[in-house]
Structure 1
Amino acid sequence: LEAQAMQALARRGWKPDYLTVRRRADLLPPQSPFAGEALVVLGAAKLGNTRLIDNLE
């Protein structure tokens, strides 16, 4: 999933530094995609001279 998202950003002109899915509680990788844990997506990417760093819950 993470690799697909980075490829999708790159296809749209972004230069992704990282994109990862983590557990919201402790930022460790999720145990399973279906574990029912609260997750957060963390990422950073450049578009032109601008670097965006963000997280989504």
Structure 2
Amino acid sequence: MILGVAQSQALIPLKREIAARFNHNHWLELGAMTGALDLIQHHPRLLRSLSFGERL
């Protein structure tokens, strides 16, 4: 999928909110809703980094 400039710019605030607020359960819920649960559960750093307070 290729996004236009306006769509890409609209994603930046969304990305910031996700980085600031998402926790372990949010990521699992998003994965379940989008069919990417396996990808999220097996990401090498995503869920582990949340326990350190890191944001990807």
TM-score between both structures, scaled by the size of structure 1: 0.32
User: Normalized per residue, which structure has more helix?
Assistant: 2
TM-score between both structures, scaled by the size of structure 2: 0.32
User: Normalized per residue, which structure has more strand?
Assistant: 1
Structure number with higher relative contact order (C-alpha < 8 Å, ≥ 6 residues apart): 1
